[in-house]
Chains A and B, each alone.
Chain A
C-alpha cells in the first residue's frame, strides 16, 4: 500500500474518533429543563356567624352563647317566657349569618321543635316563625350577584302572619315563614358565587339575618327546645 494512502486512512480514522468524542460530549450537555406543576381549586362554601345575636321581646331568658363574627355558628339562646305572662308582641331572635363561596351555593335549614306538652296547644314547629332578612353582598372582593330568598323574610311582618279566625291561634301563614316548612332539610337561600378571587384572609362575605319569632300565647305549659341546623352546599 502506498505510504500516502496509509497516511490518509490514519487521518480519516482520527477525524472520525474526534467526531464521535464531540458527539458524546454534546449529548451530555443539558441546556434546558422543565418544572411541571399541577394543582386544584375545589368548590368552597362556608357558613359562619355574622356577629352578635339580637334578642328582643323576651321575658327572662337571654343569649347563652353569642355569635362571633367569622367564627363557626353555634349560638344558644334562651327565649324566656313564651306564655301569656310575656306581654310583648313577639319574642324575636335575630341571628346574623355569613356565607362565602367560590361557587354557586345553596343554604338549607333543618329544624326540630320538641315540647314537653302533650296536647295540640303545646308549642309546635308551626308556632316558630322563621325567615331570612335582607341579603347583603358588600365589601372588597365580594361578587355582586342576585340571591334567591326562599323564605318570606321577617316573620313578624303583618303580611306574614295573623290570628286564625277560627281557632284564635296566631299563625305564620306566608310561604316558608315557620319551622314546619323545614322539618326536613329545605332550601332557604341560594345564589351565585359570593367571593371574587381574593385570599381567604379577606373577611368579607354575604351576610343575612335569620329571624326566629314566637308569638306569646296560651300555649300548654312546659319546656320547649328549638334546634335549627343550617347547611351550605355547592350544587
Chain B
C-alpha cells in the first residue's frame, strides 16, 4: 500500500511539473498588441477655384477663390440700377465638398444697405442656385439632391408690378434668410488618401437683374455656406 501511494504521488508531481513547464514555455513564445482607433465623420467645404463675374458694370473680383483653400470670396457686383444695360449681373462661385459620410450643405444669407422701401433691392431680388453635375467615377457613387432650381438666370419673368421674379422655389436669397439646406447627398469620397484633392465641385450662382431699384450707394450681400455630416 505504501508503495502504491508513493507511486501515485510521484505521478502527480511529475504531471504538475509538466504543466508548469508547459505554461512557462507558452508565456515566453507569444505576445499580443491591441490597438484602438477611430474614423470620425469628416466633411469639408473649400473653394473650387476662381469665380466668374459677368454682366457687371463697374464691378470686380476683390478676393478670388483658390481651389482647395477656405472659401472666402469677396466680389463687387458693381451697378445694379438701370444704367447697367446687361440682362443679369451674374456671379459663379465654384464650391468643393469632401466627406467620408453623407453630408448636407446649408446656406444662410443677408442683404443690407439697400434701403427700406418696397422698391429697394431685397433678398428676393438676388437669384441663387447650384448646378452640380453627376458625380465622376473617381468619387463615391451617389446622387446629390439639389434643393435649388439651378441657374437662376434660366426662366423667370416679371410679375404684375413689372418686377423681375426668379423662377422656382429656393431660387433667391429670400429663401435663406435662415439657414437652410441647398444640397445633400451620400459620402463624397471613396477611401482615398486625405491629401487627395478629389472632391465634389459645383458652381454656386448668384444673379441680380438690374432694375429701377431705389438708389443705394453701399449694398452688402452675404452668403455663408456650412457643410454638416448627416
Contact = CB atoms under 8 A, between A and B. Distances in A.
A196 B164 CA distance: 11
Contact of A41 (B71, B194, B215, B226): B215
Interface residues of B, number: 64
A166 interface: no
Contact of A196 (B44, B73, B163, B194): B163
Interface in B73-129: 73-85, 89, 91, 93, 95, 114, 118-121, 125
B220 A34 contact: no
25 contacts: A30-B45, A30-B71, A31-B43, A32-B45, A32-B71, A34-B222, A34-B224, A35-B93, A36-B74, A37-B75, A37-B91, A39-B221, A44-B215, A101-B212, A102-B81, A102-B213, A140-B158, A140-B162, A141-B163, A197-B125, A198-B211, A199-B162, A200-B82, A200-B84, A202-B212
B187 interface: no
Contact of A199 (B119, B164, B221, B224): B164
B175 interface: no
Nearest to B220: A38
A42 B211 contact: no
Interface in A1-52: 25, 29-44, 46
B46 A198 contact: no
Interface in B199-230: 204, 206, 208-228
Given A197-B211, A202-B158, A39 B83 contact: no
Interface in B147-190: 158, 160-164
Contacts of A101: 212
Contacts of B49: none
Contacts of A35: 71, 73, 75, 91, 93, 204, 206, 222-225
B44 A31 contact: yes
Contacts of B71: 30, 32-35
A29 B214 contact: no
A33 B125 contact: no
Contacts of A53: none
Given A41-B80, A200-B85, A34 B163 contact: no
Given A35-B73, A36-B74, A200 B220 contact: no
Contacts, number: 186
A16 B204 CA distance: 41
Interface in A170-223: 193, 195-200, 202, 204
Contacts of A199: 82, 158, 162, 164, 209-212
B82 A40 contact: no
B83 A44 contact: yes
Interface of B: 42-47, 58-59, 70-85, 89, 91, 93, 95, 114, 118-121, 125, 158, 160-164, 194, 204, 206, 208-228
A200 B218 contact: no
Contacts of A103: 214-215
Contacts of A204: 162
Contacts of A202: 158, 162, 212
B166 to A, nearest CB: 12
Contact of A34 (B73, B77, B85, B206): B73
Given A31-B226, A198-B162, A36 B45 contact: no
Contacts of B221: 36-39
A31 B214 contact: no
A100 interface: yes
A135 B84 CA distance: 27
Contact of B227 (A25, A31, A34, A196): A31
B44 A197 contact: no
Given A41-B121, A199-B158, A200-B84, 6 more contacts: A33-B46, A33-B70, A39-B208, A40-B78, A41-B80, A234-B215
B11 to A, nearest CB: 39
